[in-house]
Amino acid sequence: MNCLNNGVCIDKTETKAAHCDCSGIGYNGNFCEIDNNECSTNNGGCHVQATCTNTPGSFSCSCKEGYSGDGIITCNPVPTFSNEKNENNQAVGIGVGVTFGLLGLIVLVLLILFFLKRKVRFPLFLEKKKNSHKILDRNNKKVWKKNQGNLDPLKQ
Ligand SMILES: [Ca+2]
């Protein structure tokens, strides 16, 4: 008997005729001439995110686009540049948003304080200025008088 694809020829016995043993070689048929399509059942045992490819006497598993791994046990999503960029942009956007939000809040608080201060202190400020003017005048007078008092005796 001529078994194909490394099929093992089993000699005839009293109860069985000679035949080919095709177990474990990926083929079937009387002469092991028919390839087993492993992918036809259960995706060939490949990972859910893998593609099963039938080959003569065997099959292969490869992860789909965007996934990496052995194709059988692991097929993990691959972070793409655009994903990273989007995540970065999102992070930058959040950062900028928070920064401008805080800056806006600070500016608002400062404006409120400025107007409150101005409303409360503007008259006081004027008063203070007037008083300081008076004080300055008084001081000038004092100084002047003092100077005159000091200088007058020297001149006389
Ligand atoms: Ca096959």
1-36, what's its fold? Answer: Laminin (2.10.25)
Q: Residue 88, SS3?
A: helix
Ligand 1 centroid vs 64 CA: distance in angstroms?
Answer: 20
> Which of 42-56, 74-88, 108-122 is modeled with the greatest confidence?
42-56
List beta partners, residue 58. 55
The 10s digit of each residue's pLDDT in 106-128 is: 999 999 988 887 765 555 555 55
The rounded Å distance from CA 27 to ligand 1 centre is 7
Q: What pLDDT, in 10s, does the model give residues 16-48?
A: 999 999 999 999 999 999 999 999 999 999 999
- Residue 63 host element (H or E): strand 58-63
Place of tokens 């007037």: 130
pTM above 0.75, yes or no: no
Q: With a cut of 60, say whether residue 69 has pLDDT above it.
A: yes
Residue spans per domain, the chain: 1-36, 42-78
Thinking of the domain 42-78, which architecture would CATH place it in?
Answer: Ribbon (2.10)
| Average of per-residue pLDDT across 127-154 | 54
Instruction: Establish whether domains 1-36 and 42-78 are of one fold.
Output: yes
Ligand 1 centroid, distance to 121 Cα (angstroms): 92
CA distance 98 to 91: 11
